[in-house]
């Protein structure tokens, strides 16, 4: 009930352009407006845990898709994958480091050997979720 009421409360403020759809930007804003920066981390962890149906400490494409469905929206899984990548590019230190390594090797004409693969994250962990929730809009 707490998760549903939080979602319903947020939903009324999300569709900013009134097109009946939630864009990736609106979905991002929806996630980040759920909490204030000074709300206890335990509340954020509780919501994260409810969304984490697989109980693996990560929210993957399917779990985030399920949340979008609960919100009455159909966000294609391809867009959710793009959002996960965007969240990692903003808040994921491992992603940022791996992407920098990939980009540097690609640009370096003297680079020898295989270029490290570009990172392709498929889920967000609590640290990234918390960063999204703490973001000032």
Q: Is the pTM of this model over 0.75?
A: no
Bigger pLDDT: 31 vs 8: 31
pLDDT score at 22? 59
Find, among 30, 132, 24, 25, the residue nearest to 78 by Cα. 24
Bigger pLDDT: 67 vs 57: 57
Quick one: DSSP state of residue 123?
E
* Residue range 68-115, pLDDT digits in tens: 887 777 788 998 888 888 889 888 889 989 999 999 999 988 888 888
* Residue range 115-136, pLDDT digits in tens: 888 899 999 999 998 888 777 6
- Tokens 């990939």 correspond to what residue? 102
Cα–Cα distance for residue pair 121/124, rounded to 1 Å? 8
Cα–Cα distance for residue pair 40/2, rounded to 1 Å? 15
HSE at residue 99, side-chain half, CA atoms within 13 A, is: 13
Q: Which residues 6+ apart lie within 8 Å of 41 measured at CB?
A: 130
For 98-121, the DSSP string reads HHHHHHHHHH-TT--SPPPPPP--
- Residue 1, classed as helix, strand or coil, is coil
């Amino acid at each position: 009930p707490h998760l549903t009421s939080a979602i319903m409360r947020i939903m009324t403020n999300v569709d900013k352009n009134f097109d009946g759809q939630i864009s990736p930007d609106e979905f991002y804003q929806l996630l980040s407006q759920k909490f204030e920066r000074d709300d206890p981390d335990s509340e954020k962890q509780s919501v994260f845990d409810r969304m984490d149906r697989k109980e693996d400490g990560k929210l993957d494409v399917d779990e985030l898709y399920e949340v979008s469905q609960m919100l009455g929206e159909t966000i294609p899984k391809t867009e959710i994958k793009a959002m996960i990548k965007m969240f990692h590019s903003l808040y994921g230190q491992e992603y940022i480091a791996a992407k920098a390594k990939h980009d540097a090797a690609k640009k370096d004409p003297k680079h020898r050997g295989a270029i490290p693969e570009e990172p392709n994250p498929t889920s967000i962990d609590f640290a990234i979720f918390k960063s999204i929730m703490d973001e000032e809009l």
